[in-house]
Structure 1
Amino acid sequence: MSVTHEVPPATTLRERDPELAEILLAEKRRQETTLQLTAAENFTPPAVLAALASPLVNKYAEGYPGARHHGGCEIVDTAERLAVERARSLFGAGHANVQPHSGSSAVLAAYAALLRPGDTVLAMGLEHGGHLTHGSPANFSGRWFRFIGYGVDAETGLIDHDQVRALARVHRPKAIVCGSIAYPRHIDHAFFREVADDAGAYLIADAAHPIGLVAGGAAPSPVPYADVVCATTHKVLRGPRGGMLLCRAELAGRIDRAVFPFTQGGAQMNAVAAKAVALAEAATGAHAAYAHQVVANARTLAAALADEGLAVITGGTDTHLITVDPGPLGTDGRTARGRLAAAGMVLDCCPLPHGDGRGLRLGTAATTTQGMGEREMRVVATLLAGVVRGAVDPAAARADVRELTAEFPPYPA
């Protein structure tokens, strides 16, 4: 006896689940009516969103193309091969793995491929701009490995290369990590390669933030220097939230095994396809122009913030990132962030190197995607500084923010 199941008619999400539909619409309104200055966020192109919502979300695909643990993977194999080849071609890498679910997952896989628990790793200290995966005791990295932190010069805010070299010679780490979530200047990858070779260490580049600039030729590439490059596919790259690994060809097997089966199960094939879309767009002249505009906007914004009295760490930026100390305007980072949130200006706090307080970390990737340029960055700086110093009421600034964002919708109709 056969059993039939009633198939609900095709309806909209609002009809099937109005409660969740309203949550999604509320988030859409928030993104459209506030300034997205969070350095790690961006707006993905519609083609990326389409891939994420594609039927590939239904496919289970443990393993790699041609060697899956599930049947019916012939088509998704093609999608993953396409993403891998686009990543290799775009960045000139010997091998690419596009399966990591996040940047942290990519770093975990890099460590798993090259290290063993208890090994010593040299990385930027968290208080100087290092990531949780660079040795935080709350993270797997700080629990499984012995991290030694290097920092930045107290006067310039730039990486203290003499300290890096000295620490590497004393501690002889198994790996050195170069990269940061709050350092606004280019990393000297050649220097870190030299130090790693001198110490007999692997060099791991955490390029989660600058990889989209690298794709557009607006930042130097770590690929020729690092043994493994860990990256995200969102941020300036404008892809789906996820991770990616680039490495030398001879490390391909170790990296792939570290992702699957060691640290992850099945790949999210809709995200892999969306990564392929983003990588194709990142290879275009339009993305190159975008990446350079992101940097131009960040430099203009940094200079304008300095003119308004905020202390800009390192005196400026080479990237999409800006870190500032609001102390000269009479407040701390957490208080400033709260005032700005009330004004519709969304950004993060970050530690201040060699300081007791917290500063502000902001970026220009999302606003540049919206079409804002250097003129708008000066407007943003004036608004931000006025709110931070308490001279402008957040409610009044909120109206100005709405007017500005209305002129530059993230997804024009």
Structure 2
Amino acid sequence: MQDRTYTADAEPGEDVTVAGWVHEVRDLGGIAFLILRDTSGKIQVKFEKDEMDDDLVETGLEAARESVVSVTGAVEEEPRAPTDVEVVPESVEIVAPADPELPLDPSGKVDADLSTRLDNRTLDLRKEEIQAIFEIRAEILRAARERFREFDCTEINTPKIVATGTEGGTELFPITYFGREAFMNQSPQLFKQLMAGSNLERVFEIGPIFRAEEHNTPRHLNEATSIDFEGAFCDAGDAMDVAEGVVRAAYEAVEENCAEQLEALGIRDEFEAPTESFPRISYEEAIERINATGELDEQLVWGDDLPTEAEKALGDDVGGHYFITEWPSEIKPFYIKDDEDDEQLSTGFDLMHPRMELVSGGQREHRYDLLIEGFEQQGLDPDQFEYYTKMFKYGMPPHAGFGLGGERLVMTILGLENIREAVLFPRDRQRLSP
């Protein structure tokens, strides 16, 4: 809209045109107010009924909440107004009227359950605190990209339609691709490894992944955003350094650049970026510490994966972000390299928030013969992955990397209760629309 002024920029003494949504109408008899909201904030529009044209007053006061309006008038100082200024209108235009029967209340005075909010996400994002989540999410992704570039990484984009799954199994969404069966990609894992074998060496990607897992929990999605890294001539320790650096960068960017958004969410005072290095705890030590808490009904033994209650017990014990290293080889994917000194151990690692796992990574097996053995040990047919495996015959350097859950990072940084809060339009077992 030409010559439009954002409400936050309206200064006393100016003639402006502001445009946005009708947040509220207050009729006090001889005087009335329309509160107009745009992306920058709210501004009060004052109607003095006896001194204004009846049609102008009627247009302003009969506008339904959430109608889009354009108001032209003089900005005056008014200490009693929410933003210390108000607009005295010369004209009011209803750009797009709203149905008076709204499916939820964007003012937040009446609560709506999460399902109703997600069904009406456009209205939901008109709430200041919900808008704040996605402004912070954007800042987190910006900071991640910047930190990756500081690590000399090149941003890449890999296919999301593939002939075979990254890890095989039943966690695949099949699709029909010109008469052939194909799948939505579970991960950029194999492609980013191929890029680590190119002259790019260090690469990162931020993009969607798809997993047909039969789950329905507050921390799982079937379409998620993965923040991925792969680096040639890197070992597991190098990859952990990058993972820690990216997570720290996200916290620091939010702390430095998102004060208003944290205020809208009511967490500005308690928000704090981590200052201590993330400890690196071996899988064996993790099992011992979990068992020592006495929080589990049954003691964990070597080779067990960590259930949710075990992660929580260890998270409470550690009290901050931490890595779990030296996982058993048998429970890590085929592409994770075994430890040189003990083939029962892998170079795999996880980065944990006290609430949940954020990152899975490790050094990759770069030797062709051992990679093929890994496929066979996990019951996968190497011939189905020839596009991937054959490149390991042509000089594949040692390399390492990780995948970081983007929504989980947002969720843990902001203390959200449900991962769907961190996604504009979530995809899970029940939700395919909007």
| TM-score interval (norm. to shorter) | under 0.3
Higher relative contact order (CA 8 A, sep 6+): 1
- Of structures 1 and 2, the larger Rg is shown by 2
Q: Which has the higher strand share?
A: 2
Q: Which has the higher helix share?
A: 1
Q: If the length of structure 2 is used for normalisation, what is the TM-score?
A: 0.22
Q: If the length of structure 1 is used for normalisation, what is the TM-score?
A: 0.23
